[in-house]
Structure 1
Amino acid sequence: MNHKAQYIQPPILEMSEATVRRDGINILDRFSLTIRMNENTAIIGPNGSGKSTFIKLITQDIYPIANKNGAPPVRMFGKNHWILEELKSKLSIVSSDLQNSFLHNTKEGHISGLDVVVTGFFSSLRLFPHQTISDEQYGKAKDALILMNATHLADKFLDEMSTGEVRRVLISRALVTNPEVLILDEPTTALDFVARHKFMEQIRKVVQNDTTLILVTHHIEEVIPEIERIVLLKNGRKAFDGSKKEILNSENLSDIYDHPVKLNGNNKLFKVHVD
C-alpha cells in the first residue's frame, strides 16, 4: 500500500530542461530530473558539475531561464510556485551555506546547540525576545538531538564545536519540524574518514525513520545502503541516472571525473581507488 501511495503523491521535485547561465556559460544545461517520495537519491559529480546550482534552484537563491515551450523548469510537490515557509514545512536543506551563515552569526553572540535546533521552528538564524517557545518545542528539539546522537551538544556553544558537531546540530535543526524530505549538500566535508562513517550511520537512522533523503555530494563513501538511485553529473548535465547497481561503477565514475577510477563496493560502504 505504501509503495503505491508514493506514486499517487506528486513528485518531490520535477526539473524540466532547467538551464542556469552565468557569464554566457550554462552552469546547468537543460537539466531534467524527477524525484518521488521514498526514492532516496544521491546526486554525485565533481566540482563544477552543477551540484551547487542544483541546490540553489531548490532554495530559490537563483532562478532558471524560462523554457521556450512554456513548461515550468522547476516544480516542487506538484506546484510551479510556492510560499517558501510552506515549502520548508515539507522539506529541509542542510548545506555549507547554511553552516557558514550560522557560524558568521555567532560572531555577534553565542548560541547553544539546543537553541540552534529550536531556530528550526522559526526558519531563523537566532532566537529573538519576541518569540515564544513552548515546552513542546523544546521537547521536540531535544528529541531531534537524540536522533543525531548529539544530546551532549545541547548546552555547548556553536562557535566552540567541531565541524562534525556543527553538522549534527544543523541536521537536528532540519529534523525538528518532521520534514518529509531531507536534502544534504556535501554533509561530511572536512570530516575525517572515521567521523564521516559515524556521521552517515546517524543519517541512516533518519532515513529508516521514513524521511526521504536527497544527497548531493562528490564523496562516494556517503552513499549509504538506503540510497537506491544514483544521478551522475558532468559539466552541468545529467550523465547517468538509474539504480545504484546499474550506475555506480568504475566506468561511469571514470567518465564523469575524466580520470581512471576503480570502485570497490559492498552493501555498507563504497571506497574509491584512483590509479
Structure 2
Amino acid sequence: MITYPFEYKRASSVAEAVSMLAEGGKALSGGHSLIPSMKLRLNMPDALVDVGRIPELKGISMDGDELVIGAGSTHADIADSQLVKEKLSLFAEGAAHIGDPAVRSRGTIGGSLAHADPSADWPALVLAANATIVVTGPNGERSIPSTDFFTGLFSTALNDDELITKIRVPVSAGSKSTYQKFAQPASRYALVGCAIVKQADGQVSVAFSGVSDAPFRDTDVEKNLNSGQEAGPVGKGQSIMSDNFASEKYRVHLASVYLQRALEAVA
C-alpha cells in the first residue's frame, strides 16, 4: 500500500529534533512501527523527523544503580549487550523475542514505547522493571514513570513536541526476572506477553502486553502474590481484547498460563 505525501526532515541533535517536532513533525527512528501505521492511514503526520542518526540517543551504560538505555538503541543492540545480560537479563531476553533479525536490527526501544502498540513487548518489560521514560521537549527534560506513561490504545503521556531520549531502569542485586510470550506466528507480536521481576525479598511486579487495549501492571495479582496468596484472576478490571486471533476468554486463559510459567521461571 502506498502512503500519502509527507515532508522528510533529518535531525542531527535532540534540540534540533524537538524544534522540528514543535513545527508539527513526527519522530521516525527505525520505522518498523510508524511506517506500517502510515500505510494504513492510522498515522498521518505532515512531516517525518528522522532521529535515527542522533548520537545522543545511542548507547547503553550504568549510572549508579540504574541501567540507562538510549532511546535509539535497537532491539538487537539490547539483546546482544553483555552489560544488559549481566545487569538486567529480562531486557535482553525480551528484546530477543521481538520480530525477526531484520526487525531487531532496525527497530528501536524508543520507537516501540512511543508507538505504544498494546501487543508490543517493550511496554510490559519496562512496566515490570519499574523503568522511567526520560523525554525532552521545548521546556526541557522530564521523567515519566512507566506506570504513568501508557494511557490507552496507542496512547501515551508523551506530548507531540517531545522526544524519548533514554530509559532508566533500576537494577537490584539478587533479583530474578523473565519474559514469557505467546506470539502471533506471522507478526511475532504478543497475543500474551508476561513480564515478571522478583526482588531478593520475594516481592514481585507483574506486567502484561497483548491482553488489554493498553499494557498494564496487574496490581491485583501482585497484591495477592506479595501477601503469600495464589495469584488469582488475571486482568481484573481491564478491558480484555478480542480479535480474530484470540477471544477474550482465550486471552485470559493464555495470560493465566503464561503467568504461571513466568512464576515458575523466577521461583
- Scaled to the shorter chain, the TM-score interval is under 0.3
Q: Higher helix proportion, which one?
A: 1
Give the TM-score of the pair, scaled to structure 1: 0.27
Structure number with the bigger relative contact order (C-alpha 8 A, sep ≥ 6) is 1
